[in-house]
Amino acid sequence: MNTVNEMSLSFPSKSCNEAFARSAVSAFIMNLDPTINELSDIKTAVSEAVTNCIVHGYRRVGGTIYIKGKITDTGKVIIKIRDKGCGIEDVSKAMEPLYTTAPEEERAGLGFAVMQSFCDKVRVKSKVGSGTTVTLEKTIAPHNA
């Protein structure tokens, strides 16, 4: 499995960058010729991860969000989204559907569940005080016309 393309991005944790991040990632994978559904799945998952950096990781303090993208020769898309924010104490609990630490802000607690259902694989690495990295993987099926 060889890498055929790569990119990296960094931007401040402003909520207007949620739209920027998912658009940038969708532009990056465009030459794999994804279906509308595949594209929408990846955009949604990226939006969840970036929003989490802003509303949880960098809550009140702000900071820089880092995205790294990779495409392999098998059509696999790997997107890493990282913050250097507060980190997550109990990752498996945080990933439970409907679990949220911000219900008063109208969060539904569905972000991780959405990432898991819209991608093939989701990995979360986090350390309290140093930040969180979410890795999303999804293979874009080559369509044989």
Partner 1 sequence: MLKTEYANNILTAYIDGEIDHDSAVKIRTQVDGAAQSLKPRLLCLDFSGVSFMDSSGIGLVMGRYRQMKLIGGALRVVNIPDRMYRLFAMSGIEGLGVLR
Question: Could you say which of 5, 64, 101, 139 contacts ligand ATP (CB under 6 A)?
Answer: 101
Bridge partners, 77 (sequence order): 71, 138
- Does the protein bind partner 1 through residue 114 (CB under 8 A)? yes
* Touching ligand ATP, residues 26-55 (CB under 6 A): 48, 52-53
Please work out the total of residues on this chain that contact Mg ion, with binding judged by CB under 5 A: 2
Stretch that binds partner 1, among 43-51, 66-74, 76-84, 86-94 (CB under 8 A): 43-51
Catalogue the active-site residues: 48, 52, 107
Q: Which residues contact 96 (CB under 8 A, 6 or more apart)?
A: 109, 112
Query: Is residue 49 left, alpha or beta, with left meaning phi > 0 and alpha meaning psi from -120 to 50?
Result: alpha
Tell me the C-alpha distance between 115 and 46, whole Å.
8
Question: Could you say which of 2, 98, 129, 145 contacts partner 1 (CB under 8 A)?
Answer: 98
CA-wise closest residue to 37 among 138, 145, 144: 138
Judged by the rule CB under 6 A, the positions of this chain that interact with ligand ATP are 48, 52-53, 56-57, 83, 85-88, 94, 99-102, 107-112, 132
